[in-house]
Structure 1
């Protein structure tokens, strides 16, 4: 059945499982009844929004697959300055609806990413330096509790607001004005590594919260390629990207465009193309020249080791600087146990086709993470307890790596709200 295939499908085949069946709740009442049945029968289940999770079993199952795609409304409330978004939408669907409204929300940076997954994990955005994480811009959300009760959670609900876990059917997000933006992407040859490195190091000193840059290092078929992504929340870039724009390129385009067009243009750059995919989170405090070199060396080293095993293998590292005040826009959330200083959510990613190499790829990413983390420590960065980003983190990491000292409180919240541990039947990070 096409509905079943759509319901279980994920962006990466490594995250897809053939469930016993799928169900598409069409209302919160449906969701409540489904959850009650699953709890009473102790049936394993999974909840899928956009299907972008790269950890197997996090939003897929051999049991009952719940597909949230019917929670698909977007409503702008000008009076309250908020936007209601259904948890089954992807960010590009939301941006398409908002394109002509003059407002926008803090959300995902590429096509296909689901609302719920990004929000529940924390959510880094092109607008994070201005407005904080996506979760910092939540005004409320509709939640189905493990016992089937439906509630609207606000900042007055201390524990649930702090935890932001469970089956969310709708988010109420703060809106912000949106004009045309300036952005795009540029490719560079490997002989421009030093120039890109210097531009990235200098960019971190700019202190322009409207500007966002990402640098991707990708190894495939014996070659290292470089890609820079640019976003400026205004129709001109004010010269903040001058160091990057002075570097000779091999392709790409930057210009003034709508925010929605930017997201659409970026989409093809980060698709899985039907390949398996794992990611691993590497939090750093800043990108020094030495740390940049470590990312390059590790990408080339492990890329050269893995390429002979799979002709479709690509190994990449993404470096994502933000403004130093990015965590000052919110407080009291489970993710980010320490908001006192900035942490940048770097990520290493492997893509390949042969399923027998899954464990090999996971081991490689963990080794890369360990080496780069050690390099950050040697660089004088206090990252021993820096929070990994849950939406990038590879399965198997201790909860303390993501939530630090908040783990114990989260376990108490889970025990109080769901003593029968119904949510333990689902995937994801286990409390």
Structure 2
């Protein structure tokens, strides 16, 4: 990740909420720049990285399952791999990340597209998040729920970077769901099998990730998916954790951008950027379409910071560029930005009503305007920040600012 090349002056690992409160008060008093790191998978510099003081949340590793309430309390220093492993003995899971190495904190606070989103919605939208433990910039520790503090709960659900601008979240209480074994893997279509795969260069092909975890086993008699050839070490029912670990890309420098559903069959963006960026150390140019049901935003009616509009279920298109040469950072950032402008213009020209669609913050580049993420919710978010952070301590961090 680009952010991993930004070195902090020092790093501190609080072990308690009281420790964290003291740290925030000192940083606010001295007006020292800082960043908060959970899993550290954010690609944008200044989000979980800093040249100042980095607060690393590794000493908040709690995973406590309550069988009576069917909830789990998890610390913000975890990655989803650790959560899945801890819940596996109970045959339950949460609406969480899809690949290994993804941090619990920003994933949940930014939105949370999961393998289970079609069934349950985004992590922050559904009843998945029952409560937050929050350390305010003045050091006060508080628990936030939908009934205890409506405004704070609204802002935490989608407030995103720096564990939101109200302070630092230390734990979540999440609702669990049943978890069976998973059937799935990677299907790759070559140019001889699928003409549009000619978009790709280097290793021609279009890939599809398949995920199935219904209680009824998938068989060749009941579904064509089971008859597909999967590039998977064991195309048999497996654990969700094993499936997630299998999907991790090992790359040095990456950046992402979000967009909306758009047919790429007549767009040669992949071919153009694959060829033009190959000389700049590109190792992967990927445009990933995420097929989700139109109902993905309708699983809960409790107001949330993101998405600002729920009447339309947007299907994010994740642009994923990876390269090795740090001297090419600016070129790739510019390329991915230009590509999104072209794709959006083409989508609008094709009749898609996305001219004013909100951008998904977890996929957006650092140059994204905060207005494009939160739209009409921005005034309320700014007023909430003014109440909980009147001295603008969280303004000493990077990322999107209310």
Tell me the secondary structure at the aligned position of residue 315 of structure 1. strand
Count residues with an aligned counterpart: 388
- Range that drifts further, 372-381 or 66-75: 372-381
Give per-residue Cα distances to partners, 1:163-220, cap 9 Å, x unaligned: 1123110000011111112222222212333588xxxxxxxxxxxxxxxxxxxx9955
Give the corresponding residue for 1:146.
Answer: 137
- The whole-number CA distance in structure 2 between the counterparts of 1:187 and 1:426 is 41
How far is the alpha carbon of 1:224 from its aligned partner?
Answer: 3.1
Tell me the secondary structure at the aligned position of residue 282 of structure 1. coil
Pairwise CA RMSD: 2.2
How far is the alpha carbon of 1:223 from its aligned partner?
Answer: 3.8
Alpha-carbon distance change, 304 to 252 in structure 1, aligned in 2, over 3 angstroms = farther
Alpha-carbon distance change, 390 to 354 in structure 1, aligned in 2, over 3 angstroms = same
Residues 196, 265 of structure 2: 8 Å contact kept = no
- The whole-number CA distance in structure 1 between the counterparts of 2:239 and 2:283 is 34
User: If each structure's helix is expressed as a fraction of its own residues, which one has the higher value?
Assistant: 1
Tell me the secondary structure at the aligned position of residue 68 of structure 2. coil
- Range that drifts further, 64-73 or 174-183: 174-183
Give the corresponding residue for 1:293.
Answer: 265
Matches within 5 A, 1:125-204: 125-136=114-125, 137-156=128-147, 157-164=149-156, 165=164, 166-193=167-194
Tell me the secondary structure at the aligned position of residue 159 of structure 1. helix
2:259 matches 1:279:
no
How far is the alpha carbon of 1:354 from its aligned partner?
Answer: 1.1
User: If each structure's strand is expressed as a fraction of its own residues, which one has the higher value?
Assistant: 1
Which consecutive aligned stretches of 4+ in structure 1 deviate over 4 angstroms post-superposition? Answer: 217-220, 238-253
Q: 5+ residue gaps in structure 2?
A: 157-163
Tell me the secondary structure at the aligned position of residue 100 of structure 2. coil
- The whole-number CA distance in structure 2 between the counterparts of 1:352 and 1:57 is 20
2:70 matches 1:100:
no
Residues 199, 269 of structure 2: 8 Å contact kept = no
Give the corresponding residue for 1:199.
Answer: none
Residues 53, 59 of structure 1: 8 Å contact kept = yes
How far is the alpha carbon of 1:362 from its aligned partner?
Answer: 0.9
Q: 5+ residue gaps in structure 1?
A: 1-11, 197-216
Matches within 5 A, 1:5-404: 12-136=1-125, 137-156=128-147, 157-164=149-156, 165=164, 166-193=167-194, 219=200, 222-234=202-214, 236-237=217-218, 254-267=235-248, 270-272=249-251, 275-284=252-261, 287=262, 291-294=263-266, 297-310=268-281, 312-330=282-300, 331-404=302-375
How far is the alpha carbon of 1:294 from its aligned partner?
Answer: 4.5
- The whole-number CA distance in structure 2 between the counterparts of 1:42 and 1:110 is 36
- The whole-number CA distance in structure 1 between the counterparts of 2:260 and 2:152 is 26
Residues 280, 365 of structure 1: 8 Å contact kept = yes
- The whole-number CA distance in structure 2 between the counterparts of 1:349 and 1:69 is 27
How far is the alpha carbon of 1:31 from its aligned partner?
Answer: 0.7
Residues 2, 45 of structure 2: 8 Å contact kept = no
Give per-residue Cα distances to partners, 1:267-293, cap 9 Å, x unaligned: 3xx232xx1111111123xx5xxx231
Tell me the secondary structure at the aligned position of residue 59 of structure 2. coil
How far is the alpha carbon of 1:39 from its aligned partner?
Answer: 0.6
Residues 13, 57 of structure 2: 8 Å contact kept = yes
